[in-house]
Amino acid sequence: MIGKHYVLTGGTSGLGQSLLELLLKKQVHVTVLTRNPQKIEGKYDTSLLTVLKCDLQSQEQILNLKNQFDDKSIDGIIYSSGLGYFKSIEQHTTEEMLETYNLNVVNFNTLLATLQPFFSMFPTIVGIGSQSAFLTQAYAAHYGASKAAFNQVLNALRIEKPNYHVLTVNTGPIATPFHAKADPSLAFAQKYKSIMLDPNELAHKIIKGMLSTKQEINEPKWMHLFLRIYQIAPRFVEKHFTFLFKNKM
């Protein structure tokens, strides 16, 4: 990885921040796209890091990035930005729904299309998805739906672009600031504290997956196995084990 150049989103917090720190340790050039450059500027004393201000809710700001990479080839995108609101379907405002789909799916696509002209021959695309893409979840409907869509976009990209290495990371709960934003009461975070993944450990696995050209990382494995079994008869399981699908509140 030494000397490669990745564009990273979500690098100011949680899993993205862990990934950033590992990449810099590995002597990788990283361009972080962030709406809050002050969160990161001056934090890392290295010439390997470039910070560009970009609100990923803004199509215009993403499209303007094409003027920032003139002479810099890009070896890949790591898309770790994401958000969700843990609330019922009717409690979601239109703005919250649009924010969720725009950040988690639509604007990933815009970013990809904007940066594609600068890609090296065999770029790596890492998408941080979620195990919630694989199950019905009350009180997190739009988050799960956006991650399911993201998953399918990445799967299609893998087929459309055989020269790309596309790595989808389907993760269960991680101990990050994500939860305070998704549900300020922290009800879910408190309840599932004991099964939360460590962002640094997950970041290590992702770097390993990038190096070994893995196509999918599913963590924790027991959760993914359960969700595979659930897929055999989802409506039956939802009907008879409803409590499992109402854990976001």
β-pairing, 49-53 vs 74-79, is unpaired
Nearest-approach distance from CB 239 to ligand NAP, in angstroms: 25
The residue range among 76-84, 154-162, 217-225, 236-244 that interacts with ligand NAP, by the rule CB under 6 A, is 76-84
Closest CA to 220 of 241, 201, 247, 233: 201
Cα-based torsion angle of the residue sequence 167, 169, 15, 126 in order, rounded to the nearest 10 degrees: 20
Regarding 13 and contact with ligand NAP (CB under 6 A), the answer is yes
Q: Applying CB under 6 A, does 10 fall inside the site for ligand NAP?
A: yes
Nearest approach, Cβ of 34 to ligand NAP (angstroms)?
6
d(CA 166, CA 183): 31
Query: Closer CB to ligand NAP, residue 82 or residue 123?
Result: 82
x/- binding map, residues 80-119, to ligand NAP, per CB under 6 A?
xxxx-------------------x----------------
CA distance 176 to 196: 9
Annotate 36-65 with DSSP letters as a single string: -GGGTTTTS--TTEEEEE--TT-HHHHHGG
In whole angstroms, what is the distance from residue 174 CA to residue 196 CA? 5
The per-type count for the chain, helices as H runs and strands as E runs, is 10, 7
**What's 172's DSSP letter?**
-
Taking CB under 6 A as the criterion, the residue among 26, 35, 158, 205 binding ligand NAP is 35
What is the rounded distance in angstroms from the CA atom of residue 182 to the CA atom of residue 83?
7
Query: What is the residue type of 117?
Result: P
Residue 71 or 132: which CB sits closer to ligand NAP?
A: 132
Output DSSP code: residue 198. P
Sign of CA dihedral 150, 212, 225, 10: negative
Q: Does 221 bind ligand NAP (CB under 6 A)?
A: no
Q: Kindly write out the interface string for residues 148-187 of this chain, putting x where it contacts ligand NAP by CB under 6 A and - elsewhere.
A: -----------------------x-xx-xxx--x------
Shortest distance in whole angstroms from residue 20 CB to ligand NAP: 10
Q: Would you say 113 or 233 has its CB closer to ligand NAP?
A: 113
Q: For ligand NAP, which is the closer residue by CB, 56 or 74?
A: 56
Minimal distance, residue 55 CB to ligand NAP, in Å: 5
Which window, 31-39, 44-52, 111-119, 156-164, contacts ligand NAP (CB under 6 A)? 31-39
The residues binding ligand NAP (CB under 6 A) are: 9-10, 12-16, 34-36, 39, 55-57, 80-83, 103, 128, 130, 171, 173-174, 176-178, 181
